[in-house]
């Protein structure tokens, strides 16, 4: 009887110990603001940066109004391969509008789109891309474009994953956006893509409202149509928010220099320089390096989309943090 009681006490003690151990582990998991990040150098750099910027009476303390963080979109917050999402949208628009434009059958880059000639399309470069964007994104009101873009993003599927593009956002970056906002940061998306293409869905997906989107734009003009005030989108370039345009766009839209910038390509180089290469408060520059061919894609210097070369060299010189997606992220996409 005594032996049985001792065994029961011992078993109870073991179970209590295990419960305590699992309880501590669970509590730690719940308090980890970045659970999809491995405990490697980039995660430590983020946590250290936030702690320094938010610790009052420390030399690195940053008042809340100055806690500005900017994020590139394509390749930083969601997939950009096999092509930029907005380019996929433009290609679908070309095919949908082709019956009204018979001349496109013999005119590049439209001919390449209609023949699915990706090589020729890629060779058309930025000039060809802009031509496609202007032809498919203009000639309508802003409200009409918002509906077209919203309908497309809701129905389109990525060719590799067969999922909506809005499900192919990076879970670690969603956690980072939330972590920064929980610590008094205001987060902005600064995209080379169209500002009115990103705005309709960014708040639902990223938690970033329309007024905190900075992007490329085409010209619009005010018109009265059927007695109603409208903004009409013209087939003309207004602003390209890429490379040197990103700091200019940040200055025009935000009016404050960021203290943290996140990108993944040479198109983000100037944004990272503008953010970090200055005196004053603590700064964080981070580059997402696509190294995971199994879970996503692996690319950098030779890539047509998300080309990363000069900015990767600059990272070492300027002590920017480089995230190795394969090594530093436990998960890539949200688990539904």
Express each pLDDT in 272-288 by its tens digit.
999 999 877 899 999 99
Pick the CATH number of 39-88+119-328 from 3.30.390.10, 2.40.50.140, 3.30.465.10, 3.40.50.1000: 3.40.50.1000
Alpha carbon 40 to its chain's center: 21
Place of tokens 């001919």: 111
7 has a pLDDT exceeding 50 = no
DSSP string, 114-134: HTT-HHHHHHTHHHHHHHHHH
Sheet holding 284-289, edge to edge: 140-141, 228-239, 213-225, 186-194, 68-71, 260-263, 284-289, 321-324
More confident residue, 279 or 28: 279
What is this structure's pTM?
0.90
Question: pLDDT per residue over 106-131, tens digit each?
Answer: 999 999 999 999 889 988 988 999 99
162-185, pLDDT tens digit by residue? Answer: 999 999 999 999 999 999 999 999
Residue pair 198/73 in contact (Cβ under 8 Å)? The answer is: yes
């Amino acid at each position: 009887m005594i032996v049985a009681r001792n065994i029961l006490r011992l078993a109870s003690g073991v179970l209590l110990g295990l419960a305590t151990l699992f309880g501590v582990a669970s509590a730690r998991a719940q308090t980890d603001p970045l659970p999809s990040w491995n405990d490697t150098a980039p995660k430590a750099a983020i946590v250290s940066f936030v702690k320094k910027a938010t610790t009052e009476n420390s030399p690195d303390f940053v008042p809340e109004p100055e806690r500005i963080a900017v994020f590139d979109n394509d390749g930083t917050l969601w997939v950009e391969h096999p092509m930029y999402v907005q380019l996929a949208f433009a290609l679908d628009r070309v095919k949908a509008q082709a019956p009204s434009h018979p001349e496109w059958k013999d005119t590049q880059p439209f001919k390449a789109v209609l023949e699915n000639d990706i090589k020729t399309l890629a060779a058309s470069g930025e000039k060809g891309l802009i031509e496609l964007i202007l032809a498919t994104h203009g000639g309508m009101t802003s409200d009409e474009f918002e509906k077209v873009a919203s309908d497309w993003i809701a129905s389109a599927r990525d060719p590799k994953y067969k999922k909506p593009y809005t499900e192919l956002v990076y879970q670690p970056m969603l956690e980072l956006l939330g972590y920064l906002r929980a610590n008094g940061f205001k987060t902005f998306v600064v995209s080379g893509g169209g500002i009115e293409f990103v705005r309709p869905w960014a708040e639902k997906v990223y938690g970033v409202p329309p007024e905190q989107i900075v992007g490329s734009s085409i010209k619009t003009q005010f018109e009265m149509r059927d007695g109603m005030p409208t903004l009409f989108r013209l087939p003309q370039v207004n602003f390209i928010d890429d490379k040197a345009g990103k700091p200019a766009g940040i200055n025009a839209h935000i009016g404050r220099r960021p203290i943290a910038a996140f990108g993944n390509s040479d198109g983000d180089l100037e944004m990272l320089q503008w953010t970090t290469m200055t005196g004053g408060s603590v700064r964080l520059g981070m580059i997402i390096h696509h190294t995971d061919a199994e879970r996503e894609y692996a690319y950098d210097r030779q890539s047509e989309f998300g080309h990363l070369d000069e900015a990767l060299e600059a990272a070492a010189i300027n002590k920017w943090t480089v995230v190795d997606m394969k090594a530093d992220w436990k998960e890539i996409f949200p688990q539904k």
